[in-house]
Amino acid sequence: MTGPAACPSTAEMLERLVSFDTTSRNSNLPLIGFVRDWLDANGVPYRVSTDATGQKANVHAIIGPQESGGIALSGHVDTVPVDGQAWSGDPFMLRRANGRLTGRGACDMKGFVAACLAAVPDLRARTLTRPVHLFITYDEEVGCYGAQRLIVDMAESGLRPALCIVGEPTGMQPVLAHKGKLNLRVAVRGLPGHSSNPARGVNAVQCAGEALAWIAAEARRLTREGPFEDGFNPPHTTVHVGTVRGGTILNIIPEHAEFVMEWRNIPGDEPRAHMARLQAFVAEHIEPAMHAVHPGTGFDFDVQIELPGLSLSPDHDLTALVKQLTGSNATGKVSYGTEGGYYEHAAIPAIVCGPGHIAQAHQPDEWIAQSELDACDAFIRRLADRLTA
């Protein structure tokens, strides 16, 4: 094995990571190539897994004993777009001023990945009794596809950590639970005709509107009736419609309409049951009148993303460990999703804890505080102390 490479600071490592435009629509292979070179220079073994196109890749590196067990530090390197945002400088050139480091992905979540990579020489120099796994994944922002592929790869290799820390921005406070999410595309098939005789057609926009009215009422019902779980804000499952499209010009009965919606469910509340309620309403109250005009009309439901929720017990050993490493007596719950839900469903208990704050994520002039990176560096070194002989 080669000797350890020169040790850049976390900020210097972050500068390199930000310089790669890894917006989810792009390939992440240039960044992954940089990571592989860094791991090779430090003599760290790793596995690479890719998507079907070969243009997106994960890295699963193991420092210490090359075996299952130990703990994983997990981060994604894709980012949301900068299109249409008012940045004050180049989003892919890290800028440092007044204790802030500004650049796309600095907070979500290249800051955490940079801290993990910067720690590699120190971790490798130690006599670790249990492995430290590094998960670096693709396409979290558009469906956690990299994490799902990584789980398949771990099943093939047998190299699974016992526990996982997902470094999404939490201000270095342990987060035990997050909501799940189901994204649904609803397409409406109508029957076109001249608007002067609406009874001879099926207005897809108006049929969609009936469903949208039911969804609005359902949102109010969930707010009123729950179920509820303390710690979430809001403390119940939510439903939301994000986009609506349909129609061409005013005097044509719309043949097509479409809307995209989501449920963000508290753990234990099954989003498929909510979807079934919508489908039952459509089948009973909307489609019969559509079919009476033409049997080829109706609704189509296409699940686009189904993200499992996360729920780690406050009494779990991982909870106690992360509280000790952060010095925090408090834990939290969040309404956004992470890859942690997939790891938990793959029987790898997971917790969310990382530098930065979600309020800075996805924003123009996205930034992370140097103090947050310093806290993350100290967290990783304290974790290494626990795993060192």
Task: Please say whether the beta carbons of 52 and 114 come within 8 A.
Answer: no
Q: Count Cβ atoms below 10 Å from residue 363 Cβ, excluding itself.
A: 14
**For the chain, where do the domains classified as CATH 3.30.70.360 start and end?**
180-307
User: Of 40, 42, 13, which Cα lies nearest the Cα of 115?
Assistant: 13
According to DSSP, the residues that pair with 310 across neighbouring strands are 178
Catalytic residue among 15, 139, 140, 366: 140
CATH value of 10-177+309-386 in 3.40.630.10, 3.40.50.300, 2.160.10.10, 3.40.605.10: 3.40.630.10
- Distance between CA 141 and CA 284 in Å, rounded? 36
- Distance between CA 22 and CA 73 in Å, rounded? 20
Q: Is 140 a catalytic residue?
A: yes
Q: What's the pLDDT score for residue 7?
A: 85
Q: Digits of tens for pLDDT over the chain (389 positions)?
A: 345 556 899 999 999 999 999 999 999 999 999 999 999 999 999 999 999 999 999 999 999 999 999 999 999 999 999 999 999 999 999 999 999 999 999 999 999 999 999 999 999 999 999 999 999 999 999 999 999 999 999 999 999 999 999 999 999 999 999 999 999 999 999 999 999 999 999 999 999 999 999 999 999 999 999 999 999 999 999 999 999 999 999 999 999 999 999 999 999 999 999 999 999 999 999 999 999 999 999 999 999 999 999 999 999 999 999 999 999 999 999 998 999 999 999 999 999 999 999 999 999 999 999 999 999 999 999 999 999 96
Q: Which residues of 305-340 are buried (b: 16+ CB within 10 A; e: fewer)?
A: ebbbbbbbeeeeebbebbbebbebeebbbbebbbbb
In terms of Cβ atoms closer than 10 Å to its own Cβ (0-12, 13-18, 19+), residue 59 is buried
Q: What's the pLDDT score for residue 220?
A: 98
Question: Which pair of structure tokens corresponds to residue 190?
Answer: 């109508």
Q: What's the pLDDT score for residue 57?
A: 98
Q: What's the pLDDT score for residue 2?
A: 47
**For the chain, where do the domains classified as CATH 3.40.630.10 start and end?**
10-177+309-386
Residues whose CB falls within 8 Å of the CB of residue 301, separated by 6 or more in sequence, listed in order: 184, 185, 186, 275, 278, 279
Q: What's the pLDDT score for residue 6?
A: 66
Catalytic residue among 21, 78, 141, 168: 78
CATH value of 180-307 in 3.40.190.80, 3.30.43.10, 3.30.70.360, 3.20.20.70: 3.30.70.360
How would DSSP label each residue in 273-340? Answer: HHHHHHHHHHHHHTHHHHHHH-TT-EEEEEEEEEEPPEE--TTSHHHHHHHHHHT-S--EEESS--TH
Give just the sign of the alpha carbon dihedral 105, 15, 386, 343: positive
Question: Which pair of structure tokens corresponds to residue 130?
Answer: 């249990």
- Distance between CA 32 and CA 113 in Å, rounded? 12
Task: Please say whether the beta carbons of 260 and 182 come within 8 A.
Answer: no
